Structure 1
Amino acid sequence: MTRTSVRAPAHARSPTALLWHPVHFLSLGLGSGLSRWAPGTMGTLAGWFLWPLLVHQLPIEWLLAWLIACTGFGVWACGVTAHALGDNDPEAVVWDEIVALWWVLLFTPANWLAQGAAVALFRLFDITKPWPIRMMERRVKGGLGIMIDDLIAAVMTLFVLAVAVHYDVLPR
């Protein structure tokens, strides 16, 4: 599939108008990125609510393959949707939040307290963009740039969670 085959016509470049195409539909987080209030948070919450469908249905090997595929797909699809919207990193594109959160949840203890802390920490890092997230966001463009800052936020989240679990701040 080429970039032009998924690009919306010039008159249909609002995020809502792009929902007709499956690539854009996924990039827009199944529509969660269209929220007028905190689209990144809505995408993250969509990822959290979808997580049980994945983790309870797939063996770990398939789950890892799925996450790798979703990450690679996200680099391409987020870039395609950003191009269609004429913006380097549109707020409505939230596939990056969804997939990065799935990586976090894969390594997070399976209890509501730990998962809630993971979601909150992930959003904190994604919103505040401490170093090296901000640096990567400025230097890397396209779909990879859209995905990379959230993947770094995921790694930072996992580090803090590991420390919290190690020191019994969060249950295992």
Structure 2
Amino acid sequence: MPTEVTMQNRRQVTAAALLLGGGLLTPALARAATAPQSLADRFAATLSAGDIDGFSELFADTYVNHQQSAAAPPPANVTPKQATVAFFKARLAAMPDLKVDIEVVVADKDHVAASFVYSGTHKGAYFGVAPTGRALRFTSCDIFRVQDDRIVEHWGMGDIAGVLAQLRA
């Protein structure tokens, strides 16, 4: 019986073949058609594994973050890549058991959009709130532009208000 991953891969290859006009789909074309989605998968996997170094490698040095948050402004005198890595490093410190799942993902040749679900136990300070031991669950919707297998641009919205409500409940 095929696994969910196998079925998902079959759907991706079928979709890529349809997008290519039903022509022959070589393995190289199949990889190219799903490369941005692969990046979303690695985004979730590195965070779920607590691998901040692997997470950092997903971003180009020239990365631009178009998302600005008053709740989590970037530190002064750091690059957008450094600010993003620092933000997620703080998230991992606050929730060392962080798990990131993907609800839905849509990709084309150089963009990927994903709805991520984050869950974990609040065991460290987060957004200025001391550890509560509460189980947290929140989402973000993110769009990445991908170039050379790296995230070069990001647009998105995270449910910071929902996180703060759970922390202060």
Structure showing the higher strand proportion among its residues:
2
Structure showing the higher helix proportion among its residues:
1
Structure 1 and Structure 2 fold alike (TM over 0.5): no
Please say which structure displays the higher CA radius of gyration. Answer: 2
Q: TM-score, normalised by structure 1?
A: 0.29
